[in-house]
Amino acid sequence: MAEGTKLDIVSPERLLVSEHVASVTIPGTDGYFAVLGEHAPLMSTLRPGFITTVDAGGKSAQYYVRGGFVEVAPSGVTILAEQAVPTSEFDRAEIEASLLQAEKDLAAASTPEARSFLEELIYGLRNLLIEAQHMGETHIH
């Protein structure tokens, strides 16, 4: 049996990745997790973050995803993302604008549920900007 797993990353706009990889690291809602060959089946929601793939030759690639779902099955890993792009297309200014809007919405929030949702969103967007900075500004606008 071949090492690694089949990976498909799909967004509403396109099939971004469909290839065999040695490993893939995924931003699950409860934290990042790695999938190698013969991983136990699971399903998870995604948080905004960066997927890192490593091919059989050790070459890595990164992709930005903004929410969605992942299924790990014996046939491979399928990521259905709300948005998915190579990190070269990651738009930091768009995330910063979303953060500013969420902060304005939080100031106007009138229910505990809305406040909680917006606080979590703000926390996630701030973490995303920190992650992007650590990935190297040469790959991200």
- Domain ranges for the chain: 5-87, 91-135
The number of angstroms, rounded, from the C-alpha of 1 to the middle of its chain's C-alpha atoms is 28
- The C-alpha atoms of residue 88 and residue 83 are separated, in whole angstroms, by 14
List, in sequence order, every residue forming a beta bridge with 16; answer none if it has no partner: none
- The C-alpha atoms of residue 90 and residue 140 are separated, in whole angstroms, by 6
Query: What CATH fold (topology level) applies to the domain 5-87?
Result: ATP Synthase; domain 1 (2.60.15)
- Kindly report, residue by residue over 57-112, the tens digit of the pLDDT: 999 999 999 889 999 999 999 999 999 999 888 888 999 999 999 999 999 999 99
Contacts with 88 (C-beta within 8 Å, 6 or more apart), sequence order = 139, 140
**Which spans in the chain are helix H?**
92-108, 112-135
**Residue 138: predicted pLDDT:** 40
Strand, helix or coil for residue 87? helix
**Residue 84: predicted pLDDT:** 93
Q: What percent of the chain has pLDDT over 90?
A: 67
Sort residue 24 into left (φ over 0), alpha (ψ -120 to 50) or beta. Answer: beta
